[in-house]
Amino acid sequence: MFPKIKIYKTIIQYNDRLSSVVTNHAYGIGVVSIVIGLSFGLLYYQMYYLPESLAKPTVSHEILEPVKNTIIEMIVGSSSPEQQDNFVPKLVNIQLGIDNHTIWNNVDDTPHTVTPDHRESDSYSGEFGSSGVIKPGDSYEFIFTEEHEFEYHCDPHPWMTGKVIVTKQRF
């Protein structure tokens, strides 16, 4: 009778040890997964997140705050296709660090847009173009920080067209 109990006891002890081994193993897998997860997280941070956050170029103070602004007016009567002048001046030559801060003022009594003919973006200021309409009395501003040459128009009145040429400072 007595040895039988001892055998049972041994089996129970063995079983206990086995289950603790299993638990430790599961715990080990958990730790390994966390470590792998963290490494991937770090890799992603270094390869994708970090370069993207550093992608915005540093632009000199002279270019971000030029000595003067370039002003373009959307004059009264621009919504009429018969009127020759709408964006005034129609062609602007802009120099970086001089007058690259550009402002379109709507002095007309009709809403207009400033929309590039083809997608145009500046690596500092982003996508060019007014989002939605510029209401009478409102304006649209854009700081060019790179050389550009493109044409734009007004969405509701496609006969309203203009051209922007941005060049480096000429001495």
Residues in touch with Cu ion (CB under 5 A): 112, 154, 157, 160
Residue 159: count other Cβ atoms within 10 Å of its Cβ: 14
Beta carbon nearer to Cu ion, 96 or 160: 160
- 76 CB-contact burial (10 Å; exposed 0-12 / middle 13-18 / buried 19+): middle
Beta carbon nearer to Cu ion, 78 or 145: 78
Beta carbon nearer to Cu ion, 74 or 96: 74
Minimum gap (Å) between residue 166 Cβ and Cu ion: 23
Beta carbon nearer to Cu ion, 101 or 157: 157
For residue 73, the cross-strand partners are 88, 105
Q: Are strands 115-116 and 101-106 parallel, antiparallel or unpaired?
A: unpaired
Residue 78: its H or E element: none
Integer CA distances (angstroms), 34 to 7, 27, 73, 117, 156, in order: 41, 11, 60, 51, 56
Minimum gap (Å) between residue 131 Cβ and Cu ion: 15
Minimum gap (Å) between residue 103 Cβ and Cu ion: 17
Minimum gap (Å) between residue 135 Cβ and Cu ion: 11
Beta carbon nearer to Cu ion, 160 or 166: 160
Minimum gap (Å) between residue 113 Cβ and Cu ion: 6
Ranges assigned E (strand) in 2-145: 69-74, 87-88, 91-95, 101-106, 115-116, 121-122, 126-127, 139-143
